[in-house]
């Protein structure tokens, strides 16, 4: 799945001083053990397939990168535990989240990361980092609804498939280049056709 111009622009303009991921801190009621949150995310991954996809660049950069399944995907590379001193205030928990926020996400992996912050009485804080190239406003809201619904009954949630997830084969560099080249040629031909049509006199177009 190729990135759109808008989504790719978030990658091209990103820098250490200008990161392009969205960071949010969710404050949940109650103290949830890290293991429970980890298992919860594991049980919802099938509902957010983009979370298992990483970037694949096109040789010579003749087209925007595309999303491909990460054959080495491991949830443990994306969901981490962080403990603040027991009895910490909510503000101290938020301060810890701010310190954990990273300047740039690792582009060799799916562009998201989560920290589960424990130690604040009667609260669990979750720092969520997701690259803007992956989500827009609408999909971000949907993602939040899916991932942060900790309803014990899991009402109205599609259960994980019976068969374990298997990554689709990643196209080779040659395949990615060839596909992008064909897309470019197709767009060029279509553009030429529209350009030629625009030069036809209106009287002839009516015929």
- Residue 145 inside a domain? The answer is yes
Q: In this predicted model, what pLDDT tens digit does every residue of 72-99 receive, in sequence order? A: 999 999 999 999 999 999 999 999 999 9
How is the beta sheet containing 123-131 ordered, strand by strand?
21-29, 123-131, 112-118, 79-83
- Residue 178 inside a domain? The answer is no
Q: In this predicted model, what pLDDT tens digit does every residue of 185-205 receive, in sequence order? A: 987 654 443 344 344 444 444
Q: Among 15-19, 26-30, 158-162, 186-190, which stretch is predicted with the lowest mean pLDDT?
A: 186-190
Pick from 90, 97, 91, 101: which is nearest to 116 by CA? Answer: 97
Confidence of residue 138 (pLDDT cuts 50, 70, 90): low
What single DSSP character describes residue 79?
Answer: E
pTM across the whole model: 0.84
- Residue 179 inside a domain? The answer is no
How far apart (Å, rounded) are the C-alpha atoms in residues 92 and 98?
10
- Which CATH number fits the domain that encloses residue 57? 3.30.559.10
Q: Among 43-57, 64-78, 91-105, 142-156, which stretch is predicted with the lowest mean pLDDT?
A: 142-156
How far apart (Å, rounded) are the C-alpha atoms in residues 200 and 153?
64
- Residue 188 inside a domain? The answer is no
The number of folded domains in the chain is 1
- Residue 109 inside a domain? The answer is yes
Q: Return the number of other C-beta atoms located less than 10 Å from residue 15's C-beta.
A: 9
Q: Which domain holds residue 133?
A: 5-170
Which residue did the predictor score with more confidence, 142 or 195? Answer: 142
- Residue 184 inside a domain? The answer is no
- Residue 181 inside a domain? The answer is no
Positions marked active-site: 132
- Residue 199 inside a domain? The answer is no
């Amino acid at each position: 799945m190729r990135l759109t111009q808008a989504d790719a622009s978030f990658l091209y303009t990103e820098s250490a001083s200008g990161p392009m991921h969205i960071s949010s801190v969710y404050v949940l009621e109650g103290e949830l053990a890290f293991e429970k949150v980890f298992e919860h995310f594991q049980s919802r991954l099938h509902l957010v397939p983009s979370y298992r996809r990483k970037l694949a660049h096109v040789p010579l950069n003749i087209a925007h990168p595309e999303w491909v399944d990460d054959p080495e995907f491991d949830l443990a590379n994306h969901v981490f535990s962080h403990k603040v001193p027991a009895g910490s205030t909510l503000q101290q928990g938020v301060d810890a989240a701010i310190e954990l926020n990273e300047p740039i996400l690792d582009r060799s992996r799916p562009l998201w990361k989560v920290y589960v912050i424990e130690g604040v009485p009667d609260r669990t804080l979750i720092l969520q980092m997701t690259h803007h190239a992956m989500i827009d406003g609408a999909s971000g809201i949907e993602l939040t609804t899916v991932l942060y619904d900790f309803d014990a009954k899991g009402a109205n949630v599609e259960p994980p498939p019976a068969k374990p997830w298997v990554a689709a084969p990643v196209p080779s560099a040659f395949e990615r280049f060839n596909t992008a080249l064909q897309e470019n040629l197709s767009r060029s031909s279509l553009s030429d056709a529209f350009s030629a049509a625009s030069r036809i006199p209106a009287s002839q177009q009516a015929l």
